[in-house]
Structures are given as C-alpha cells and as structure tokens.
C-alpha cells in the first residue's frame, strides 16, 4: 500500500473527546442516553463540528446524523459508531468511532487527498439498549431490520412516543424506508471502537483487528410460586420464586463457563423484578432477563438449551410455573477476511502492533453486516473496563486506531478505483 500517513491531529481529537464528555447528566456522569436532553444537545454540537469540517450534513429518517464528503453518486465508504451511553457509562465507547471518523474526514480535506468514492461519517442513533427490542436502532433501520410499525408501537424511557423522539432529532419516521441501505450501496463500513475488554492491553498490542462479533441472545423469564407469610409457612410448604431464580442465575453462570466454552461464551442475569418484594413475604413471582453471548453458533445453541433445561428442572423440583421466551436471537457475525487483511496491512505499513481478536460486545458493525462488508479496529482501554465512568483510552491509542482506519479506508477506495 502506498498511501501517505494521514497524521491525525491528536490535540484536536482529544479536545473533541473532552468536549463531548461534558454533555452528560450532571448527577450521573457519564450519562447521555439516546433521546435525552443531553443527547439532543450533544447531537447539535456534533452536527456543527460536521459542518465546520466541510461535510454535507443531514439527519436521515431514522435519526442517524450523517456527514458526507465528496460529490457524486455510486457506492459510499462509511465510517461511524454512536455517541449515546448507558447510564453512568464512559467517555469513549462509541465516541472514539464517531470523533475518530470526523478527524479522518477533516484530515482528508486538509491534506487534499481526494477519494474516488463519497465518504459518509455516521453517528448511529440509539446504539445502547434504550428501547427494548429495538436498539441498536439506527444501524438496524439502515439494514432494513426495523419497520415503521415497530417504531409506532415503541416509546423512549421518558414515555415519549419513539416516533416523536426521532422527529425531535430531525428524523422522519413516516419516511423510514429512505434511511434503508440496500446491499451494494455501501462499499465498506469501518468502525473504530474501544475493546471493552483486557485482551489488547494484556498482549501489549496497539490495535486489534476484529475477526467475529459475538451474538447476544436475550430471554425474558418469569417464575411464579406462591406469595405467603414468611413466618407461618414452613420450609417444606414453600414455593419460593426467588429461591428458584437464584438457582437459575447460577445455572446461567455454569452454562456459560463450561470448560470448552469459557473462551467463547458469557452469560448474565442483569435484571430481576421480585414481587411483592417485601421483607416478610415469600416471593411469589420473579421476572428476570437472561443474556447469553458467544462468538460461536454451536456454543450459543448449547448454552441456550442448557439454560432452558435447567429452568425446567428447577421449576419442576420446586413446584413453580416457569416461562422463558427468547426475544432476541442473533447469530455471530464473522468479519470478512479481506476486510481483516486490509486493516492488518495498514497496521503493518504504519508499524503499529496489531493482533486479531473476537469481539464479545456487539456493535453497529454487526447490524450493518447484511448490507455492507464491515471491518472493525479496536483500541485498548484501561484495565479493560467499559460501561462505567472509569472507562479510559489514551489519546495516542485513539489516534493510532484512527490512523490505521484511515489507511484501510484509502486502500479500499484505491481498490474500488482499480475495478471501476
Ligand atoms: Zn459501543
């Protein structure tokens, strides 16, 4: 590959990351939930930065913020990620992908390096699980995976109808189909992201090349027993829904930790609702969520069956009624080898230490995979921590990741020029 380094401006990138972090719920840093006032304000700031960078800036029908560089039609090159956060999340998850892409676009303009293809920088709306069953919203709409009916039936956490919330950001749910991308319209999608795990840091690598994105599967479970007096009911007579739920939680942990799966799978019960949740009443009902993820389809299927088997056994033994409904079943998304190789060569050319690794967290790239070849560059984050205020990435690492991403972008553009 024969491309000059883009020389991303670290100071400018660092200043952008710091400024964006200021858009947070002041009582709960760093909280910028999709559709919240903080999010809307951050979006306005970001759109202004896109315009300052000379990008043709718009919000698509789904509420994705898009900045475009270069005229002409035909397939586009796309870079992006998200700027919404979980509650009390971090300053880098998603943010480095959006601001890194912005910095790349600026440097492309400043250096006069003209791409053969138009470039689009996308801040995908609502990547984090803010809307049950619909997040990540923006990338799913682009892939044609969300219908107008699904939007019409949903609301944001404040109670506002989702359609109105999208319109408030400049989207137009009535024209949702216009946000959709067909296969072939996107030449490639590249995303820079923090690893959200400790692998790169432990290996001393500067960047990671993602090989596969794990699939999250989520189930809603309810266990129903009998609410009764906590003093008068003997232990033998109880049908305690929470004690059953406790067993299930441990069964999920065991299923995901089976020796041959432990590298590939994880399992979590992250939400519980106990009824009536009183100090002197035996819990009569528990609703909970089970989440399992894996980078291997077979491992995921095994874990799911194991969780279902455990639930049936626990319920039968304890005299509980149990229901389990998988609401979200995904398949792991392999990253095309050609995309991995372009990124690997870029890192080699730049003398940046890279390693290949799977992503156990999900990303917008996974949702776009059906409509575009996708590639992901990871950078290390301190102690592997993420989705917490301590989340931290060094500016040098963000810049190195952006440099690798930019070089891969230039190479993909050059390849498309060759075959045109
Ligand atoms: Zn993210």
Give per-residue pLDDT as tens, 12-33. 999 999 999 999 999 999 999 9
Query: In degrees to the nearest 10, what's the CA dihedral of 228, 234, 237, 239?
Result: 50
- Whether the per-residue pLDDT at 251 is higher than 90: the answer is yes
Q: Which residue bears the tokens 């719920």?
A: 25
Q: Measure 83 CA to ligand 1 centroid, in angstroms.
A: 8
Q: Is residue 1 part of a domain?
A: no
| 3-class state of residue 270 by DSSP | strand
Residues 288 and 388 in one domain: no
CA of 89 to the centre of ligand 1 (A): 10
What pLDDT shows up at residue 367?
96
Residue 363 CA to ligand 1 center (angstroms) comes to 6
Query: What burial class does residue 292 get, using C-beta atoms within 10 Å of its C-beta: 0-12 exposed, 13-18 middle, 19+ buried?
Result: buried
Is the pLDDT at 274 greater than 60? The verdict is yes
Q: Determine which of 32-41, 49-58, 255-264, 366-375 has the lowest per-residue pLDDT on average.
A: 255-264
Residue 5 lies in a domain: no
Residue where a domain stops, chosen among 294, 309, 328: 328
pLDDT at position 338, please? Answer: 97
241 Cα–ligand 1 center, Å: 35
Query: Does 3 or 9 have the greater pLDDT score?
Result: 9
| pLDDT band of 411, cuts 50, 70, 90 | very high
Answer yes or no: do 207 and 228 share one domain. Answer: no
Ligand 1 centroid to Cα of residue 105, in Å, is 20
328, burial (CB in 10 Å: exposed 0-12, middle 13-18, buried 19+): middle
> Which is it for strands 65-69 and 119-123: parallel, antiparallel or unpaired?
antiparallel
Structural domain ending residue among the three candidates 269, 300, 328: 328
Q: Are residues 185 and 255 in the same domain?
A: no
Q: Give the pLDDT confidence score for residue 233 in this predicted structure.
A: 97
CATH number at residue 52: 3.40.630.10
Provide the token pair at 161.
């109808």
Whether 361 and 322 share a structural domain: no
Query: Is the pLDDT confidence value at 258 over 80?
Result: yes
What is the 282 CA–ligand 1 centroid distance (Å)?
Answer: 40
262 band by pLDDT with thresholds 50, 70 and 90 = low
Q: Is the pLDDT of residue 327 over 90?
A: no
Q: Which helix (H) or strand (E) holds 411?
A: helix 395-419
Q: Given this model, what pLDDT does residue 167 score?
A: 98
Residue 264: per-residue pLDDT: 78
Where among 310, 328, 346 does a domain terminate? 328
Looking at the structure, tell me whether residues 258 and 312 fall in a common domain. yes
* 394 confidence band (pLDDT: 50, 70, 90): very high
Inside any domain, residue 312: yes
Tell how far the Cα of 58 is from the centroid of ligand 1, in angstroms.
22
Q: What average pLDDT does this structure show over 283-290?
A: 98
User: Which tens digit of pLDDT belongs to each residue from 195-210?
Assistant: 999 999 999 999 999 9
- Give me the domain span that covers residue 221: 215-328
Q: Say yes or no: 63 and 203 in one domain.
A: yes
Please report whether residue 4 resides in a domain: no
Can you give the C-alpha Rg of the chain in angstroms? 23
**Cα–chain center distance at 307:** 25
What's the rounded mean pLDDT across residues 320-333? Answer: 92
Question: Looking at the 3D structure of the chain, how many domains does it have?
Answer: 2
308: pLDDT strictly greater than 80: yes
User: Is 3 inside any structural domain?
Assistant: no
Q: What is the pLDDT of residue 328?
A: 80
Residue 249 alpha carbon to ligand 1 centre in Å? 26
pTM of the model: 0.90
Quote the ligand 1 centre to 138 CA distance (angstroms). 13
Question: 133 pLDDT band (50/70/90 cuts)?
Answer: confident
Q: What percent of the chain stands above pLDDT 70? A: 99
More confident residue, 312 or 419: 312
pLDDT band (50, 70, 90) for residue 420? low
Chain segment 70-124, per-residue pLDDT in tens = 987 889 999 999 999 999 999 999 999 999 999 999 999 999 888 999 999 999 9
Same domain, 83 and 155: yes
Question: CATH number of the domain that 264 lies in?
Answer: 3.30.70.360
In a domain, 2, yes or no: no
For residue 215, how far is its CA from the centre of ligand 1 (angstroms)? Answer: 14
Let me know whether 31 and 132 are in one domain. Answer: yes
User: Same domain, yes or no, for 79 and 180?
Assistant: yes
* Co-location of 138 and 50 in the same domain: yes
Q: Give the Å distance between the CA of 26 and the centre of ligand 1.
A: 21
Instruction: Cite the DSSP H helix spans in 86-181.
Output: 95-111, 137-142, 148-152, 162-168
Q: How far is the CA of 94 from the centre of ligand 1 (A)?
A: 4
The predicted model gives 221-238 an average pLDDT of 97
Spacing, Cα 28 to ligand 1 middle (Å) = 19
Q: Kindly state whether residue 269 falls inside one of the protein's structural domains.
A: yes
Quote the ligand 1 centre to 82 CA distance (angstroms): 6
The rounded mean pLDDT for the chain is: 95
Query: 318 and 243: one domain?
Result: yes
Pairing of strands 65-69, 265-275: unpaired
DSSP codes joined into one string, 48-61: HHHHHTT-EEEE-T
- Quick one: 346 and 219 in the same domain? no
Q: Is residue 226 part of a domain?
A: yes
Q: 3-class DSSP state for residue 163?
A: helix
Q: How far is the CA of 327 from the centre of ligand 1 (A)?
A: 21
């Amino acid at each position: 590959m024969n491309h000059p380094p883009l020389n991303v401006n670290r100071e400018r990138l660092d200043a952008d990351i710091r400024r964006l972090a200021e858009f947070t719920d002041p009582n709960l840093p760093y909280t910028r939930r999709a559709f919240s006032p903080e999010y809307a304000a951050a979006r306005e700031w970001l759109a202004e930065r896109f315009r300052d960078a000379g990008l043709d800036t718009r919000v698509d029908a789904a509420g994705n913020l898009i900045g475009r560089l270069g005229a002409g039609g035909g397939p586009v090159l796309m870079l992006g990620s998200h700027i919404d956060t979980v509650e009390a999340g971090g300053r880098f998850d998603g943010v480095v992908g959006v601001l890194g892409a912005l910095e790349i676009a600026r440097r492309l303009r400043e250096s006069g390096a003209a791409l053969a293809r138009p470039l689009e920088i996308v801040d995908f709306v609502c990547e984090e699980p803010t809307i049950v069953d619909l997040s990540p919203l923006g990338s799913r709409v682009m892939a044609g995976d969300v219908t107008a009916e699904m939007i019409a039936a949903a609301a944001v956490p404040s109670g506002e109808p989702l359609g109105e919330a999208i319109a408030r950001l400049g989207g137009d749910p009535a024209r949702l189909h216009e946000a959709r991308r067909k296969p072939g319209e996107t030449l490639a999608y590249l995303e820079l992201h923090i690893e959200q795990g400790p692998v790169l840091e432990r290996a001393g690598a500067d960047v990671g090349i993602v090989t596969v994105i794990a699939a999250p599967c989520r189930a809603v479970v309810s266990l129903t027993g009998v609410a009764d007096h906590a003093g008068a009911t003997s232990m033998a007579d109880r049908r305690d829904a929470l004690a059953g739920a406790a067993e299930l939680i441990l069964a999920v942990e065991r299923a995901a930790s089976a020796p041959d799966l432990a590298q590939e799978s994880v399992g979590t019960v992250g939400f519980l609702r106990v009824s009536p949740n009183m100090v002197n009443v035996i819990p009569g009902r528990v609703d909970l969520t089970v989440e399992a993820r894996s980078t291997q389809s077979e491992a995921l299927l095994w874990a799911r069956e194991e969780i279902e088997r455990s639930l049936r056994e626990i319920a039968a033994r304890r005299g509980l009624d149990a229901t389990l409904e998988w609401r979200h079943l995904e398949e792991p998304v392999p990253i095309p080898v050609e995309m991995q190789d372009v990124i690997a060569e870029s890192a080699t050319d730049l003398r940046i230490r890279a390693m290949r690794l799977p992503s156990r967290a999900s990303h917008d790239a996974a949702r776009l995979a059906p409509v575009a070849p996708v590639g992901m560059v990871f950078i290390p984050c301190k102690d592997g921590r993420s989705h917490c205020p301590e989340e931290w990435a060094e500016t040098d690492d963000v810049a190195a990741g952006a440099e690798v991403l930019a070089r891969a972008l230039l190479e993909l553009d050059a390849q498309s020029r060759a075959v045109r």
